[in-house]
């Protein structure tokens, strides 16, 4: 059968491959190359070695956005996963209205980050107005505003994944633990959590990468104000490209560093939580 299919390569694979090369591979390779160049457009690129990379390390706004993003990501990963898991546990107890609650909690995920940013800007600025403050009063107002927004948005998504993980635990396992006299907290610690480890792996992975890559919500909610102090990494790279003439090469170098950072974190996270998974 392999032979018969093999000659159909142009029909089956080529369309996807052409688009993949245009949309992904070519920009990626060109991006790596340009990160070692000085340029204002692609055609006037001039090779300058590591200079762009050295400049990124000298950019205080970039370093600031680096740890600002790290802090933001850690905060959201913890809050989202704890809340989502707790809600999932409660919503698998068969209480009345479970389906409606699930529908409501998931809903924000379908609305785009830009729209949500402006929705929350209205609400949070409205509340802060009582204290004569706005979201852009300091970087920490923006920080917590963004944390609240992102948690509100993503808890529902992760909850759905945790619910399916909890529902996949064989009922006998919990029955057996009960017969052996395990308390609810023991069941949670020794049966439920180990059994939903695959879901935990997925959800921490998703929240981690979402946190690092966050852009739309940041743009709409604070737009980096005050004076670029509430800029996350993705937005810092964006403003380097499009806000500072002559810094395109540095922007590209930041983007490569960003890519390496995201890949390394994804790899480490995967190793760590996968090793805790149990075979069913």
**What residues numbered 130-169 form the site for other proteins, per CB under 8 A?**
152, 157, 160-161, 164, 167
How many chain residues touch other proteins (CB under 8 A)? 96
Residues 65 and 215 sit within 8 Å (Cβ to Cβ): no
Contact characters 216-235, other proteins, x per CB under 8 A: x--xx--x---------xx-
Between residues 98 and 138, which has the closer beta carbon with respect to other proteins? 98
Residues numbered 26 to 45 that lie near other proteins (CB under 8 A) are: 26-28, 30-31, 34, 41-42
| Choice from 38, 59, 79, 119 touching other proteins (CB under 8 A) | 119
Between residues 53 and 241, which has the closer beta carbon with respect to other proteins? 241
Between residues 60 and 96, which has the closer beta carbon with respect to other proteins? 96
Residues 37 and 49 sit within 8 Å (Cβ to Cβ): no
State yes or no: residue 271 binds other proteins (CB under 8 A). Answer: no
Between residues 171 and 246, which has the closer beta carbon with respect to other proteins? 171
Residues 177 and 109 sit within 8 Å (Cβ to Cβ): no
Count of other CB atoms within 10 angstroms of residue 43: 6
Contact characters 58-87, other proteins, x per CB under 8 A: ------------------------------
Count of other CB atoms within 10 angstroms of residue 145: 24
């Amino acid at each position: 059968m392999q032979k018969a299919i093999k000659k159909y390569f142009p029909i089956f694979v080529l369309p996807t491959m052409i688009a993949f090369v245009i949309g992904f591979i070519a920009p990626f390779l060109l991006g790596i190359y340009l990160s070692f160049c000085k340029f204002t457009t692609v055609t006037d690129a001039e090779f300058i070695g590591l200079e762009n990379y050295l400049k990124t390390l000298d950019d205080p706004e970039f370093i600031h956005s680096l740890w600002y993003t790290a802090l933001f990501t850690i905060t959201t990963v913890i809050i989202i996963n704890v809340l989502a898991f707790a809600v999932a546990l409660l919503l698998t107890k068969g209480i009345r209205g479970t389906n409606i609650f699930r529908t409501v909690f998931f809903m924000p995920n379908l609305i785009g980050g830009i729209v949500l940013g402006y929705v929350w800007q209205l609400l949070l600025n409205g509340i802060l107005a009582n204290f004569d403050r706005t979201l852009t009063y300091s970087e920490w107002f923006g920080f917590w505003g963004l944390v609240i927004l992102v948690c509100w948005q993503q808890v529902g998504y992760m909850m759905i994944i945790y619910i399916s993980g909890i529902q996949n635990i064989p009922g006998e396992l919990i029955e057996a633990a009960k017969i052996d006299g395990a308390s609810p907290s023991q069941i949670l610690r020794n049966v439920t959590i180990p059994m939903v480890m695959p879901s935990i792996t997925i959800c921490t992975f998703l929240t981690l990468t979402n946190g690092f890559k966050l852009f739309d919500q940041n743009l709409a909610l604070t737009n980096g104000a005050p004076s670029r102090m509430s800029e996350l990494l993705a937005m810092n790279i964006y403003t380097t490209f499009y806000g500072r003439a002559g810094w395109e090469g540095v922007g590209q170098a930041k983007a490569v560093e960003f890519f390496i950072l995201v890949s390394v974190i994804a790899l480490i996270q995967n190793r760590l939580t996968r090793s805790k998974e149990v075979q069913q």
